[in-house]
Amino acid sequence: MSGAPIPSGDIRFYDAYKPALAAGETPYTLTATQQVTSIKGAALSQAPSASASFWISAPRFTLDPSEIQSLFPPANSTGDYDAILPNIVLKERSLPWERELASGEAKPPNANSPAYPWLALLVFAEDEIILPPATAGMVNPTRTVSCAVSEYRASSDPTILNLGLPALPGDPATCRVIHISTDSFTSVVPRLADLPWLSHVRQVNTDNKATAQAIGDGWFSVVIGNRFPAGQTSGPARYIAHLVSLEGYAAYLTDAPSWPAGVTGVRLASLASWAFSSQANGEDFTALMTKLAGTTAGGPELRLRLAGPATAPAAGTPAADAAAALAQGYAALAYESRAGDESFAWYHGPLTPYPVAPVSPDTAFASASAATVYDPGSGTFDLSYATCWEAGRMLALRDRAYATAQQRSRAALSKTVNLLRERARWLAGGDHSSMLEPQKVSRSLGDALKIAVGNLGGPAQVRVPTTGAPSAIDGVRATLADPALPSTIRTSIMDAPPQSPTDTVVDWLAGLRLLEPVPFVHLVPDARMLPKKSIRFFHVDANALDALSDGAQSIGIATSRDAQQQQLARGPLRDAAIARAACRRAMAIDTQAPAPSDPVAGFLLRSAVVSGWPGLEVKAWADMAGTQEIAALRFDTVASDVLLVLYPQLPVRIDIEEPKEGLAFGVEAEWAVDLRTISGPDVGQQIAGANVTLDASYRPNGVLRVDAWQSHLAALPQFASDSALWGPAAFALQMVSAPERMIFANGASA
């Protein structure tokens, strides 16, 4: 299996990933021996050796939910799913092949399939899962029940198939199971020959996913269901999907299984389960994305702000002023003045519908009051930057690690100023870098050395200043006013060692400028700005970012000297934080970092596509042709259904696309499957005019005879010269649905 990096936007299919050592009941033994001979070649009487046995651990009856990348159809969704086969995407590429269906199982007939997978994804109508009488009132929505693993391995109920599975080290005490009849088992469960075609491996590029998912290696295994969840005209049809273990069931995966006498039901270990509903004209990916465009297919209503009045107020009236404020992204929030008056004040967060001019980028907001804006004409306050300042201060006080690092970094700066003040008296006119060298000493230490040398009776070799010493306060003032000091401070901040207090401060401020710790209510102060099923675009107000940072750096300032030193360090810390912010995502996902820049623009997406299609792929472009890609500075899911993306420049075009690792098996209109090439330079491209119609009635209730269908495809003339390449990967290439993409254009139609 190739491990080469995959280009952005591509997907590769592999038949399977068989581990070198399979999990199971047979232990593996390691033996080490040592042959010792004498110098003269005589054989020795002892040959030391040692051996140890071990088992390979792997999921068996339970599966950690963190192993699941995505489910399709999304859990609890309702959509037009009757032409797709459900799937589950697993983060471990070897998981479906880590165990054997049965001890010493035979290899599948197809040479490209190394083993039968031990997992299957089964899709049930709700009434096909039996509820044991004792579980009334205790059943979850997917109709699973708890079962002791010992009971599952060897059923004590004569009506339930006894699997006779061995106990293995690491087996849990309990698991979740479902009960179905033997008739339902025969009807729904894939045949042994179907299994190799219902699992495969996918490799995708993860660069354009949310950071938490982009960190992954891009390898996934996919288990496909074998049943089309047909809808109904009277309303949604509810289905339940279960990822089950088929260990011990190999002998019963036939058209006419021979059940032991008295057995009428089976018990299946459910490793994952979810419910969904199929309904014609339901909300699939395309329908959900289309609704994001709004009633006018874009335009001003997609900016992050509250809607203004339907009719424009008369100019010069208070209503017109209020409408103008709403258009600029303000929200009117309750405000109690210091005098106790109850009124309202205007507030907008760091995310605004239009660009905001810089206020005073070189001077810090000394307090929240200094960042307050008063409009005497309307008698109202704009508390946007004051609130950001206080938010930054509160966030800094809440984070003990940052607060401690801030104080230590400030103490280090004070030490530098003190050293420069003292050593400047010895090395007047010298540059700061030489004065700060470790071997240089200050006057106080020099005087002590002079006294010590004098007491020894030898000549003193210590220089002393020829002028009177200034007061300590005057010396500090002179040092702080030294034109060379800002450059020295900048160098010390930019060259701060990793994990040092200053480096910690820079890293924390970088996250703050990316709004990572900022509560969402500060970003979107009114929920009506971001309604359900919406996308909202915004600019980032650099003044608000500065106010957040100024508030965070205000903690621990007790004297005028602290304030002056902080003002000197503010610019270098700001630049260092901006440079670090540009690298944070790039370092996490191992890509090239963009040029240092604050976030300038971005968007918020609130939709079921965020939770239903984890791994959503987003690309931004500086041109409509899609040739100049813009790397995101931040790309995070901030709530289960809310996605936040920040960019260092204003995108001209944004593409939002289905995650390729989760693309479902499906058919087009009239149950047609468009054929794709499986070899050569155009691999994956559709073959012009070549499609074949799927006969959906291979088995009752929408259950596909997968092996028969893949055999039919393999025999087509288009693949006659590629028979050696035909396997689960080639089959997946034919059956996978093409990804849907939504394009948003800034100032152009798309």
The Cα 555–Cα 408 span in angstroms is 12
Q: Is residue 273 predicted with pLDDT exceeding 90?
A: yes
φ, ψ at 586 (rounded to 5°) = -60, -40
Q: Is 669 a member of any domain?
A: no
Would you list the DSSP string of 683-741? TTPEEEEEEEE--TTSSGGGB--HHHHHHHHHTSGGGGGGGGG-SHHHHHHHHBPPPPE
Q: Is 235 a member of any domain?
A: yes
732-742 mean pLDDT: 91
Position 596 scores a pLDDT of: 92
More confident residue, 140 or 65: 65
Query: Is the Cα torsion angle 257, 263, 265, 267 positive or negative in sign?
Result: negative
Number of domains making up the chain = 2
Q: Is residue 194 predicted with pLDDT exceeding 70?
A: yes
The Cα 274–Cα 290 span in angstroms is 26
483-494 mean pLDDT: 86
The reply to whether 259 and 339 lie within a common domain is no
CA angle at residue 107 from 104 to 111, to 5 degrees? 160
CB-CB neighbours of 721 under 10 Å: 10
Query: Is the Cα torsion angle 157, 158, 163, 164 positive or negative in sign?
Result: positive
H-run or E-run covering 405: helix 400-424
Q: Is 685 a member of any domain?
A: no
The reply to whether 237 and 357 lie within a common domain is no
684-708 mean pLDDT: 86
Can you tell me which residue has the tokens 């309303």?
A: 235
pLDDT in tens, 603-612: 999 999 999 9
CA separation, residue 340 to residues 290, 333, 335, 336 (Å):
48, 16, 9, 6
Helix axes 400-424, 485-494, angle to 10 degrees: 140
Q: Specify whether the CB–CB gap between 667 and 83 falls below 8 A.
A: yes
pLDDT in tens, 279-293: 877 778 888 898 887
CB-CB neighbours of 423 under 10 Å: 22
φ, ψ at 463 (rounded to 5°) = -75, 145
Q: Specify whether the CB–CB gap between 279 and 237 falls below 8 A.
A: yes
The reply to whether 373 and 414 lie within a common domain is yes
Position 636 scores a pLDDT of: 96
Position 747 scores a pLDDT of: 58
Q: Is 184 a member of any domain?
A: yes
The Cα 584–Cα 514 span in angstroms is 10
H-run or E-run covering 391: helix 384-398
CA separation, residue 107 to residues 14, 115, 245, 497, 714 (Å):
17, 5, 18, 57, 20
Position 553 scores a pLDDT of: 95
The fraction of the chain above a pLDDT of 90, given in percent, is 56
Domain boundary among 595, 615, 645: 595
CB-CB neighbours of 520 under 10 Å: 16
CA angle at residue 632 from 629 to 635, to 5 degrees? 140
CA angle at residue 341 from 338 to 343, to 5 degrees? 110
Beta carbons within 8 Å of 17's beta carbon, 6+ residues apart:
1, 93, 94, 97, 201, 219, 221
The reply to whether 334 and 244 lie within a common domain is no
Can you tell me which residue has the tokens 């690491």?
A: 170
More confident residue, 659 or 299: 659
Q: What is the distance, to the nearest Å, from the Cα of residue 131 to the centroid of all Cα atoms in its chain?
A: 37
The reply to whether 524 and 572 lie within a common domain is yes
Among 24-33, 44-53, 244-253, 590-599, which is the least confidently predicted range?
Answer: 44-53
Task: Report the SS3 class of residue 744.
Answer: strand
Position 428 scores a pLDDT of: 55
The Cα 389–Cα 550 span in angstroms is 6
The fraction of the chain above a pLDDT of 70, given in percent, is 88
Domain boundary among 550, 578, 595: 595
pLDDT in tens, 157-180: 999 999 999 998 889 999 999 999
Position 748 scores a pLDDT of: 47
Residue among 275, 285, 277 nearest 235 (CA): 277
The Cα 383–Cα 373 span in angstroms is 7
Q: Is residue 92 predicted with pLDDT exceeding 70?
A: yes
Position 460 scores a pLDDT of: 45
Residue among 402, 288, 286, 386 nearest 337 (CA): 386
The Cα 24–Cα 29 span in angstroms is 14
pLDDT in tens, 58-76: 899 999 999 999 999 999 9
377-388 mean pLDDT: 90
Cβ density class 538-558: b for 16+ within 10 Å, e for less: bbbbbbbbbbbbbbbbbbebe
Q: Is residue 365 predicted with pLDDT exceeding 50?
A: yes
φ, ψ at 301 (rounded to 5°) = -70, -10
As beta bridge partners, residue 57 has none
Residue among 180, 227, 223 nearest 198 (CA): 223
Q: Is 318 a member of any domain?
A: yes
The reply to whether 195 and 261 lie within a common domain is yes
The reply to whether 279 and 325 lie within a common domain is no
The count of residues in the chain is 750
Beta 342-347 vs 331-336: how paired, if at all?
antiparallel
The reply to whether 257 and 394 lie within a common domain is no
Q: Which two tokens stand for residue 344?
A: 């309202």
The reply to whether 377 and 264 lie within a common domain is no
Q: First vs last Cα of the chain: how many Å apart?
A: 39
Q: Is 707 a member of any domain?
A: no
The reply to whether 278 and 303 lie within a common domain is no
pLDDT band at 448 (very low <50, low <70, confident <90, very high): low
Position 476 scores a pLDDT of: 77
Position 62 scores a pLDDT of: 96
Task: Kindly report the pTM of this predicted structure.
Answer: 0.86
Peptide bond preceding 73 in cis form (omega within 30 of 0): yes
Q: Specify whether the CB–CB gap between 706 and 198 falls below 8 A.
A: yes
* DSSP secondary structure code for residue 301 in this structure: G
pLDDT band at 88 (very low <50, low <70, confident <90, very high): very high
Residue among 110, 93, 94 nearest 22 (CA): 94
Beta carbons within 8 Å of 499's beta carbon, 6+ residues apart:
none
pLDDT in tens, 618-677: 999 999 999 999 999 999 999 999 999 999 999 999 999 999 999 999 888 788 899 999
Structural domain span for residue 282 = 65-286
Position 675 scores a pLDDT of: 93
φ, ψ at 679 (rounded to 5°) = -155, 170
443-451 mean pLDDT: 54
CA angle at residue 213 from 210 to 217, to 5 degrees? 135
Q: Is 389 a member of any domain?
A: yes
φ, ψ at 269 (rounded to 5°) = -75, 125
pLDDT band at 462 (very low <50, low <70, confident <90, very high): very low
The Cα 513–Cα 658 span in angstroms is 29
Q: What is the distance, to the nearest Å, from the Cα of residue 496 to the centroid of all Cα atoms in its chain?
A: 30
CA separation, residue 384 to residues 124, 348, 512, 719 (Å):
54, 5, 16, 65
pLDDT in tens, 523-558: 999 999 999 999 999 999 999 999 999 999 999 998
Can you tell me which residue has the tokens 């000197």?
A: 568
Q: Is 726 a member of any domain?
A: no
pLDDT band at 113 (very low <50, low <70, confident <90, very high): low
The reply to whether 282 and 304 lie within a common domain is no
Task: Report the SS3 class of residue 371.
Answer: helix
More confident residue, 41 or 543: 543
Q: Specify whether the CB–CB gap between 122 and 244 falls below 8 A.
A: yes
Domain boundary among 551, 575, 595: 595
Average per-residue pLDDT in the chain? 87
H-run or E-run covering 122: strand 119-125
Q: Is residue 749 predicted with pLDDT exceeding 60?
A: no
The reply to whether 257 and 304 lie within a common domain is no
